[in-house]
Amino acid sequence: MAFRTLIGCIAALSFSISAWADEIQINPSHPDQYTVVKGDTLWDISGKFLKHPWQWPELWSYNSQIQNPHLIYPGDTIYFSMVNGRPQLSLSRPDYSSGTQQQSPCVLKEQDVKDGRTYFAASGDGKLSPCIRETSQEAAIKLIPSDVIAPFLTSPRVVSEKELNEAPYVVDFAGEHLLAGTGDRLYVRSILKPETLSYTVYRKGEPYVSPDTGELLGYEAKYIADATLQQEGDPATLSISKVASEIRMGDRIMSTPEEELTLTYFPRPPEESIKGNIISVLDGVSQIGRYNVVVIDKGTVDGLLPGHELDIYQNGRITRDPFSAIQNDAVKLPDELAGTLMVFRPFERISYALVMRASRNIHVLDKVQTP
């Protein structure tokens, strides 16, 4: 059975405190044991034992038995203990071998073979009974909930005002259509020297503005449709291959980006000192919490890369001081740590990030910074 073959990243582990005491911090409220359930992520489980979950590769790298740090399965139980004054994590798996001699019909599990099972069900005359070979299809847990960020890996995108203004645009529909759908054709101004046949229809979305300087950082380009170039020219003719929203006159056409998508992330703090702000939240939500996608006002020019983690600080509110000698005196309370986010799609001057942890309410304009 697949989940019983797990050694994974939480196999029996001991390590030297002197090697990492100044860097890796154990979560003071860690449980003594935790049983993995469906829906857990490696990042979540790490956070139960580590103060900074992104430090899990450093902690678990001391375990020479680790073969694949991503093979953790529902049903595995992780234990925390102190051995000779040093913290230790160990792993146990469900016992599937007990009672197999009395099973009827005989079930032969994958781990039984690996464990060297030699006993099998037999009839009264000593003949072996047939066995069913059982294999589990239980999937290993993920490092992060990749299905949450999947819709934002290719669209929308962030573009400059210049890119939007210079992009070709829809001028009319072929066949006197009032609305265009899959298979219909668009007339676009103007595509004279195409470098590709694949195009995407976008619509100008909200502007992204720095709350610190008021500077325009870019525009959200909302994904509308996919189209294929049939005839270059002015106007050019494109055929619609996929539609997500109603296409309108004036929608912009851009070549489909050939981005190398990052599907595996290794959360870690950025090498540079980053201080920024949450400037928007995607997917139409108003309350920001765990696993929401937000926009921050820092990007690749600031050194951000996929997987970089930043702490989120809730802005301290301003409260009136009724005991001050100054009339109507007010004081700003300290900013409070509210959570953690991970950058998964950085652009030049802004980035899309996933809120990995939220211990307080998070709002647009809350601060983010290197842990």
Q: What is the mean pLDDT of residues 111-123?
A: 60
Task: Quickly count: other Cβ atoms within 10 Å of residue 205's Cβ.
Answer: 17
Beta strands in 40-104 (DSSP E): 77-83, 86-92
Tell how far CA 157 is from the center of its chain.
17
Q: What is the mean pLDDT of residues 189-198?
A: 92
Residue 127 has pLDDT above 80, yes or no: no
Residue 185 has pLDDT above 90, yes or no: yes
Confirm if 69 and 170 have CB atoms less than 8 A apart: no
The pLDDT, as a whole number, for residue 74 is: 81
The pLDDT, as a whole number, for residue 294 is: 96
The pLDDT, as a whole number, for residue 3 is: 32
Confidence tier at 326 by pLDDT (50, 70, 90)? very high
| DSSP 8-state class, residue 114 | H
Confirm if 262 and 351 have CB atoms less than 8 A apart: no
Rounded CA-CA distance 201/221 in Å is: 9
Confidence tier at 78 by pLDDT (50, 70, 90)? confident
Q: Is 93 helix (H, G, I), strand (E, B) or coil?
A: coil
Tell how far CA 77 is from the center of its chain.
24
Confirm if 47 and 53 have CB atoms less than 8 A apart: yes
Confirm if 77 and 33 have CB atoms less than 8 A apart: yes
The residue whose two tokens read 């990492």 is 20
This prediction's pTM: 0.69
Confidence tier at 88 by pLDDT (50, 70, 90)? low
Rounded CA-CA distance 345/96 in Å is: 43
Phi and psi at 301, nearest 5°, equal -65, -20
Q: Tell me which of 307 and 105 has the higher pLDDT.
A: 307
User: Token pair for residue 225?
Assistant: 């449709």
Q: Tell me which of 189 and 28 has the higher pLDDT.
A: 189
Across the chain, what does the average pLDDT equal? 79
What is the amino acid identity at position 324?
S
Handedness of CA 228, 231, 234, 240 (dihedral sign): negative
